[in-house]
Amino acid sequence: MKGNYNLYLGKAGHLAVMSEFLKRGWNVAIPEVDIGDDIFVVQDENGTLQRVQVKTSASKTTKNGFRVQFSLPIRQLRNISNILVHYVFIVRHNGAWSTPVIIRQDYLLDLFENEQIGSRYKDRLNLQFSFEPAGVRCSKLDLTSFLADYSDFPVVE
């Protein structure tokens, strides 16, 4: 598995995120062709559809917590449609899943274009998150309010 570790980790992250949506009462589906959406999340009762892009990473331990790096295509981030993508950043740390950071596409785009979050390398946005007891940061920006931000995915009773 050594050479394929990232493939296995990525799929495990998808399944962990899907599991959380299911627990919240939302139906989930994996598109047959992945052209940018990893998961479709649907509230069956009213037909609300949400698009989800899962980014998974393993952590590196630091003095005060852990850090991770994610990368995503800038073209995908800028491709705004009538149904926004929710980016779910999830980390495998010390044998368990972290609390996910959930950022809607328009918010992340604003952070990139106006707050200089992350770093650009060619056509990709690289984000380095630092998780510490006080919260999570990226490029000196506090992202703690995005931890487990399921506000667009309320629990279905």
Query: How many angstroms separate the CA atoms of 35 and 28, rounded?
Result: 17
pLDDT score recorded for residue 20: 97
At 2 the pLDDT is: 61
For the entire predicted model, the pTM comes to 0.95
- C-alpha pair distances (Å), 140 with each of 88, 112, 123, 135, 151: 20, 13, 22, 12, 24
Per-residue confidence (pLDDT) for residue 34, from 0 to 100: 77
Per-residue pLDDT of the chain (157 residues; tens, 9 = 90+): 566 888 899 999 999 999 999 999 999 999 998 777 899 999 999 999 999 999 999 999 999 999 999 999 999 999 999 999 999 999 999 999 999 999 999 999 999 999 999 999 999 999 999 999 999 999 999 999 999 999 999 999 8
Q: CA 58, CA 90: separation in Å to the nearest integer?
A: 9
The verdict on domain 2-146 having CATH code 2.50.20 is: no
Contacts 24+ apart (CB under 8 A), 123-127: 123/73, 123/74, 123/75, 124/71, 124/72, 124/73, 124/74, 125/71, 125/72, 125/73, 125/74, 125/77, 126/69, 126/70, 126/71, 127/69, 127/70, 127/71, 127/72, 127/89
Of 56, 156, 52, 42, give the one whose Cα is nearest residue 104.
52
Contacts of 73 (CB under 8 A, 6+ apart): 123, 124, 125
Q: Domain-by-domain residue ranges, the chain?
A: 2-146
